[in-house]
């Protein structure tokens, strides 16, 4: 039966369920609601009041979702508490992982010791980052679990009042954001920060006369640590909001505009400074790129900082355009 309240109710139920179950549950619920309305109203067109009575009889979306998922009888955290608990874990754990990883990166940058062997430093960085992530995730998991166990023991009510009045709008399929997308975005933010703060010397080229020549001057790159940190924090913030919203909304568009503009400014501060380029690399670039087309390519590498800035700007413009257009097109908030 086509009705906005019914569609929102069904969506509020199925959004808590695994993807493979949602379609079948939606069809079953739609049929069940239609039968209940037919029994109540007969041949008369159901009014808004009738629909509300039927949906209230079915229970809150969380209660119904718990029954369909089989989570209503969990031993430690059960029913609607378990549904909300799982949803919070899916949001908090990736954000906690990214935040802890970034904090570990920042610590490494501040404690940088140029005398250490690069391989030893790399091993230390990997161990510190992953150790921090594992420890932080375990702590976050434990804290959230204890909180929800206490909420259930105290019988705290999540939906106080008319649950039908607070149903979320049904998003269009193209408006939804898969959790894997923002999680991947957070990972890339961490990787970029790891590279520029910890291992910028890994980007370079080999020449017969001088051996390995880094593109960047590591000490100069690290001197811009604040802007690199800001860049990563803004990216993680943007992706965190995407993960929490789960769809393109006006709120997400506002956050994206704020974060992407500041990210562009921070990237410009770093890459527009020509001192980050290694003079030895620039002077030896023609030796590396001999032959047809070598001159054109050498110009690219001499201005590699500007090339990277162009890539960053392109990615930010693409993200901002996609987010704002889809938010304007699909958002009902």
Buried b vs exposed e over 178-204: b needs ≥16 C-beta within 10 Å? eeeebbebbbebbebbbebbbebbebb
Is residue 281 left, alpha or beta, with left meaning phi > 0 and alpha meaning psi from -120 to 50? alpha
Residues 283-311: what's their mean pLDDT?
69
Give domain status of residue 167, yes or no.
no
Give domain status of residue 115, yes or no.
yes
Provide Rg for the chain, Cα atoms. 27
Whether this model's pTM surpasses 0.85? no
Residue 61 and residue 114 share a domain: no
pLDDT band at 316 (very low <50, low <70, confident <90, very high): very high
pLDDT band at 22 (very low <50, low <70, confident <90, very high): confident
Residue 82 and residue 63 share a domain: no
Q: Quick check: 244 pLDDT over 90?
A: no
Give domain status of residue 171, yes or no.
no
Helix ranges (DSSP H) in the chain = 4-14, 19-41, 48-58, 61-69, 79-110, 118-153, 180-198, 218-223, 225-245, 250-271, 279-288, 294-302, 304-330
Q: Beta partners for 214?
A: 204
Residue 150 and residue 33 share a domain: no
Residue 188 and residue 331 share a domain: yes
Q: Which residue among 129, 160, 191 closes a domain?
A: 160
Q: Which residue among 70, 99, 126 closes a domain?
A: 70
The answer to whether residues 186 and 236 touch, using CB atoms and an 8 Å cutoff, is yes
Q: Which residue among 127, 160, 193 closes a domain?
A: 160
Residues 283-305: what's their mean pLDDT?
63
* Per-residue confidence (pLDDT) for residue 46, from 0 to 100: 85
What is d(CA 257, CA 101) in angstroms, rounded to the nearest whole number?
25
Question: Which residues contact residue 81 at a Cβ distance below 8 angstroms, ignoring those fewer than 6 apart?
Answer: 148, 151, 152
**Summary mean pLDDT of the chain:** 78
Domain that holds residue 2: 1-70
Here the tokens at position 218 are 């590591």
Residues 109-130: what's their mean pLDDT?
63
Residue 324 and residue 235 share a domain: yes
Residue 230 and residue 293 share a domain: yes
Residue 259 and residue 291 share a domain: yes
The answer to whether residues 214 and 203 touch, using CB atoms and an 8 Å cutoff, is yes
Residue 44 and residue 80 share a domain: no
Number of domains in the chain: 3
Q: Quick check: 105 pLDDT over 70?
A: no
Residue 326 and residue 237 share a domain: yes
Give domain status of residue 172, yes or no.
no
Residue 327 and residue 182 share a domain: yes
pLDDT band at 109 (very low <50, low <70, confident <90, very high): low
Residue 18 and residue 140 share a domain: no
What is d(CA 191, CA 184) in angstroms, rounded to the nearest whole number?
10
Residues 84-95: what's their mean pLDDT?
77
Residue 26 and residue 122 share a domain: no
* Per-residue confidence (pLDDT) for residue 291, from 0 to 100: 46
Task: List C-alpha distances in Å: 81 to 6, 32, 73, 153, 245.
Answer: 23, 25, 11, 10, 20
* Per-residue confidence (pLDDT) for residue 264, from 0 to 100: 95
């Amino acid at each position: 039966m086509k009705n906005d309240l019914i569609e929102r109710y069904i969506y509020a139920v199925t959004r808590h369920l695994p993807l493979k179950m949602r379609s079948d549950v939606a069809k079953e619920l739609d049929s069940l609601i239609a039968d209940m309305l037919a029994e109540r109203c007969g041949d008369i067109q159901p009014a808004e009041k009738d629909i509300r009575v039927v949906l209230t009889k079915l229970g809150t979306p969380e209660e119904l979702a718990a029954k369909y998922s089989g989570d209503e009888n969990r031993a430690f955290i059960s029913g609607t508490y378990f549904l909300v608990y799982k949803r919070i874990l899916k949001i908090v754990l990736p954000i906690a992982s990214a935040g802890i990883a970034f904090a570990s990166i920042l610590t490494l940058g501040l404690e940088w010791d140029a005398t250490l062997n690069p391989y030893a430093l790399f091993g230390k960085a990997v161990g510190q980052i992953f150790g921090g992530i594992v420890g932080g995730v375990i702590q976050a998991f434990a804290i959230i679990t204890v909180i929800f166990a206490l909420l259930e023991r105290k019988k705290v009510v999540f939906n106080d009042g008319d649950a039908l009045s607070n149903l979320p709008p049904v998003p269009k399929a193209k408006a939804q954001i898969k959790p894997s997308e923002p999680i991947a975005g957070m990972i890339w933010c961490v990787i970029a920060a790891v590279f520029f703060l910890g291992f910028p010397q890994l980007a370079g080229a080999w020449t017969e006369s001088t051996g390995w020549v880094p593109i960047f001057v590591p000490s100069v790159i690290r001197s811009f640590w604040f802007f690199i940190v800001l860049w990563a924090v803004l990216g993680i913030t943007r992706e965190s909001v995407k993960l929490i919203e789960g769809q393109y909304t006006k709120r997400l568009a506002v956050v994206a505009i704020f974060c992407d503009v500041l990210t562009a400014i921070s990237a410009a501060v770093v890459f527009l400074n020509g001192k980050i380029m290694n003079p030895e690399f620039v002077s030896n670039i023609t030796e590396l790129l001999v032959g047809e087309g070598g001159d054109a390519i050498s110009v690219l590498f001499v201005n590699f900082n500007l090339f990277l800035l162009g890539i960053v700007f392109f990615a930010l413009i693409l993200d901002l355009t996609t987010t704002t257009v889809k938010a304007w097109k699909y958002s009902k908030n």
